[in-house]
Homo-oligomer: A and B are copies of this chain.
Amino acid sequence: MSAAYERLLAKLKRAHHLCTVTGLLGWDEQVNLPPDSADQRAEQMALLAELHHAAAGDPEIGALLAELEAQKCHPIGDTLSGADDVRVVVREARKDYDRVVKLPADFVSGKARLASAAYHAWAEAKAKNDFAAFAPFLEKHLALAKQEAGYLGRGDRPYDYAIDKHDPGMDAATITALFAELKTGLVPLLRAIAASPVRAKENIFKGFPIEAQREFLREVTERLGFNYRRGRIDVSLHPFCEGSGADIRMTTRFDADNPLDSLFSSIHETGHGLYEQGLPLAAQGTPLGQNAGMGVHESQSRLWENQVARSRAFWTFFEPRFREKFPEQLAAVSPQELYLAVNEVAPTLIRVDSDEVHYNLHIILRFEIERRLFSGELAVADLPAAWNALSKELLGLTPTSDKVGVLQDVHWSGGAFGYFPSYCLGNMMAAQLWFTVRARFPDLDAEFVRGDFSRLLGWLRTEIHEQGRRYEMRELVRRVTGEELTPKYLLRYLQERYAPLYLQ
């Protein structure tokens, strides 16, 4: 390997370690921080952000990249298998480096200050149901997002730039087409389910002791393949997965009267955790050891949460274990009632409470709003009305207040435009992977029934996890499934899962 490439890797790893320390402090803040220690943590975080910026924007990285690019990324000759690795690392490191150095320092700090102020303004506006109080912050964020795209030479297509930040290579035109096709298929399915007399029974779970929930969840996530020698699970207000390499920290939350919430959120985070644990550890800190973006990440969490953990096969294995842990609590719940509770479909105003079918419509709504905001078709002041109209059109529900409408999500307060589509792209990719792997291994269901998920995990490891950032989402999907990313498998999966339950 060339000295320049070696040196580049060392520099990238250095920046990465600072990133992992920041990540750990963030995890600790959500999981452990004493109530009055927030100011001190903010000072630590600010200093680490500054140090990370310096490390990731180190001019030597720029010089090394220029040197390696001048060698046309063949510094070690085409005959060696590592040549492609070098090309990937240089290509992705260039992208990261430009994002760091092309943004002026005062722009970055100004955006961070705005995000902090906007977060508090959003929380207050939500509490008071006062969109007008939040609107100026949103205006400002929108202006900065466009400015940022300009700094990176994408001023002509700022929304594409925002999307590309979360899902490299993706753009609004592609998403528009994918979502249109998806919507066309979803609407009749949901209309049919809505007309069905079948309903999941409400309030069937009461008094599930937290400690036993914790034990069951541990058993499930371990069986799925999460390696607790390289990770852990704790409790936080909102579940998340943080960390990298050999130290993956997931969180969940517990409710004695809602064991499925904790279980499914843990399985979702386990999907994220399995992806991170499957990235090549030797390449940690370089693009080859990093995930391929939000959409791919979400495909992993959704695949385990939905395709796997809502299946008959999964519950054939786990239902007896679940009942053994909670014999009294489940005595009056029939197998079919349990399975319907796992697969409940009912429209809600709130995205995070949504079932997996409606969920996609929540995303289509947000994408549509963002697209119009960036194109100028929609003014910030008109956002609530547009939201409510789309909600009525897509979900059949009109928000009773902005609190449960346009103000429900935290994302925009941080200026995170272009983030929402990833959730739905992830759903599509998960279903597409699901059909691919089942065609490849027809015995998968039989293995799940025995509690064996290793073949699925092994396949994901090879096909997805071990690729790091080698391929952008669309190319990865093409390579693994032999087809372009498409909503048709998501639609087929939803049909196959929910038609037998609701439409017989």
Chain A residues packing against B (C-beta within 8 Å): 14, 17-18, 20-21, 24-25, 28, 32-37, 39-41, 43-44, 47-48, 51, 227-232, 245-247, 284
What CA separation (Å) do A255 and B41 show in the bound complex? 33
**Minimum C-beta distance from A45 to chain B (A):** 9
Q: With A21-B21, A21-B25 in contact, do A47 and B246 touch (Cβ < 8 Å)?
A: no
What CA separation (Å) do A366 and B247 show in the bound complex? 39
Question: Nearest residue in B to A48 (C-beta to C-beta)?
Answer: B21
Return the 9 tightest CB-CB contacts between A and B, nearest first.
A37-B247, A36-B229, A40-B246, A37-B246, A35-B229, A17-B47, A36-B230, A40-B245, A17-B44
When the two chains form their complex, are residues A20 and B44 in contact, meaning their CB atoms are under 8 A apart? yes
Question: Nearest residue in B to A231 (C-beta to C-beta)?
Answer: B34
Q: B residues within 8 A CB of A230? A: 34, 36-37
Selected contact of A40 from candidates B20, B37, B44, B229, CB within 8 Å = B20
When the two chains form their complex, are residues A33 and B247 in contact, meaning their CB atoms are under 8 A apart? yes
Q: B residues within 8 A CB of A284? A: 40
Selected contact of A229 from candidates B14, B34, B44, CB within 8 Å = B34
Q: Kindly name the residue among A25, A43, A48, A231 whose own CB sees the greatest number of chain B CB atoms within 10 A.
A: A43
Q: B residues within 8 A CB of A51? A: 51
When the two chains form their complex, are residues B232 and A34 in contact, meaning their CB atoms are under 8 A apart? yes
When the two chains form their complex, are residues B47 and A247 in contact, meaning their CB atoms are under 8 A apart? no
Q: B residues within 8 A CB of A18? A: 47
Selected contact of A32 from candidates B40, B228, B232, CB within 8 Å = B232
Q: B residues within 8 A CB of A229? A: 34-36
**Minimum C-beta distance from A277 to chain B (A):** 11
What CA separation (Å) do A48 and B25 show in the bound complex? 13
When the two chains form their complex, are residues A246 and B39 in contact, meaning their CB atoms are under 8 A apart? yes
Question: Nearest residue in B to A13 (C-beta to C-beta)?
Answer: B43
Question: Nearest residue in B to A54 (C-beta to C-beta)?
Answer: B51
**Minimum C-beta distance from A39 to chain B (A):** 7
Q: B residues within 8 A CB of A21? A: 21, 25, 44, 47-48
Question: Nearest residue in B to A47 (C-beta to C-beta)?
Answer: B17
What CA separation (Å) do A41 and B43 show in the bound complex? 22
**Minimum C-beta distance from A311 to chain B (A):** 29
Knowing that A28-B28, A34-B231 touch, tell me 14 more A-B residue pairs with CB under 8 angstroms.
Answer: A17-B43, A20-B40, A21-B21, A21-B25, A21-B44, A21-B48, A24-B25, A24-B44, A34-B232, A36-B246, A37-B230, A37-B246, A40-B245, A40-B246
Q: B residues within 8 A CB of A24? A: 24-25, 28, 44
For this complex, 21 residue pairs linking A to B, each with C-beta atoms less than 8 Å apart, are A14-B47, A17-B43, A17-B47, A18-B47, A21-B47, A21-B48, A24-B25, A24-B28, A24-B44, A28-B28, A34-B229, A34-B232, A34-B247, A36-B227, A36-B246, A37-B246, A39-B246, A40-B246, A40-B247, A41-B247, A51-B51
Q: B residues within 8 A CB of A40? A: 20, 245-247, 284
What CA separation (Å) do A47 and B34 show in the bound complex? 26
